[in-house]
Amino acid sequence: MKSDTCPKNLNDHLLACGKNRILLVAAGPCAFKDPCRKALIKLGFEITDFDYRSSIYFHSKTMRRISRKLPFIKRVVNKNTNRRFKRAIDISQPDALFCLKADTIYPETVQYARKKGIITINWYPDFIWDWDTIQKLVPVYDFFFSQDSYVLRLLKERGFNNCHYLPSAADLNENNPDPFINRTDNYNIAMIATYSGSVYSERAKYIEAVKDLGLNIWGPPSWLGSPLKHYYRGTITPDKVFDIYRETKIVPNIHYSKEIAEGISLRPFETMGSGAMLISDDVRSDIFNLFKDGEEFVSFPDGDANDFRKKVKYYLEHEDERLRIAKNGYKKIIAKHTYNTRMKEMIDVVSRKKV
């Protein structure tokens, strides 16, 4: 159907043109995959999945160690992935590819899809530390979405006009139970995060400042090699994150700050979406663009562990104020920062160009 026969109302988006088949390209464990799929299905799209990391290579540490000495192994795996991907395109005949990172899909494979008239979209979750890959992928996609304003600014300075801002979101919808009804608050402070002495040494410094205030940590076993090993509660799967935060009063957010970034991690959305109060460093400017400091979350100055501790202690002792901020944060999430909202925003951007 020609585009001039399609309605211009963006609420009808691509469906009005009969373009409703999407090939969703994501790694199996990707936290964004299922929420995006559910939201797109709710919008009326038919979804087919392709896992670009299904090879044993990605599930075997031994294979990855061997490939460091024999790099041709990874090349063979990636070539096979791209062959499988082309077959998936030919079989499913999608109207659009929606890739979540998909860094092992070659640019020429994306071009293969574009030559067939398929709309190509990438929502890339990583920031400037993956700049080399971002630069290679941006030119071959019709639409490239990033969570980081800084990355987008650099791309636009280089003449890329197919780039758009799309921050992360919370996996919630209108049917989720109110997290403030029958809330238990079993944990004063909960942290679900990775730990590395070389990469996240700053994170441990802040968390140590509140270890006597009811600290609980979940994440990889590397925490057992940290000064905070006695507060480590084990590993959890991504689907349990909301369960933990729904029983938590305060969740700290300490961003990786060794490289420039403005976009925020998934944690603020998960925290506020679960009804916990977020206390975050002020390293990433986007958090102040998306949420109101002192109303929907609380910030502390980067480098000031004393201020961080003071604020955590204050809000643990002042329940009414903590709950007010937590409830405001939750309302903002439900109103503006769910995956349903994000997928509508993405489809509207695509519709403006394609419909």
pLDDT digits (tens, 9 = 90+) for 231-253: 999 999 888 999 999 999 999 99
Is the pLDDT reported for residue 8 higher than 60? no
Helix pair 339-354, 33-43: axis angle to 10 deg: 60
Task: Output the pLDDT for position 108.
Answer: 96
Residue 260 located in a structural domain:
yes
Alpha carbon 230 to chain centroid, angstroms: 29
Q: pTM of the prediction?
A: 0.89
Residue 13 located in a structural domain:
yes
Same domain, 225 and 134: no
Number of domains into which the chain is organized: 2
Same domain, 44 and 122: yes
Same domain, 154 and 107: yes
Q: Which domain holds residue 238?
A: 187-336
Same domain, 287 and 345: no
**Identity (one letter) of the amino acid at 158?**
R
Same domain, 232 and 244: yes
Confidence band of 10 (pLDDT split at 50, 70, 90) = very low
Same domain, 18 and 144: yes
How high does pLDDT run on average in the chain?
89
The structure tokens listed for 98 are 């929606």
Residues 6+ apart with CB under 8 A from 232: 217, 218, 219, 223, 224, 226
Same domain, 302 and 211: yes
The partner residues of 143 in beta bridges, in order of sequence, read 121
Q: What is the CATH number of the domain that holds 218?
A: 3.40.50.2000
Residue listed under structure tokens 């797109």: 40
Same domain, 249 and 197: yes
Same domain, 206 and 312: yes
Taking residues 137-161, report their average pLDDT: 96
Rounded to whole angstroms, the Cα distance separating 280 from 252 reads 6
Same domain, 250 and 201: yes
Q: Tens digit of pLDDT for each residue in 88-144?
A: 999 999 999 999 999 999 999 999 999 999 999 999 999 998 999 999 999 999 999
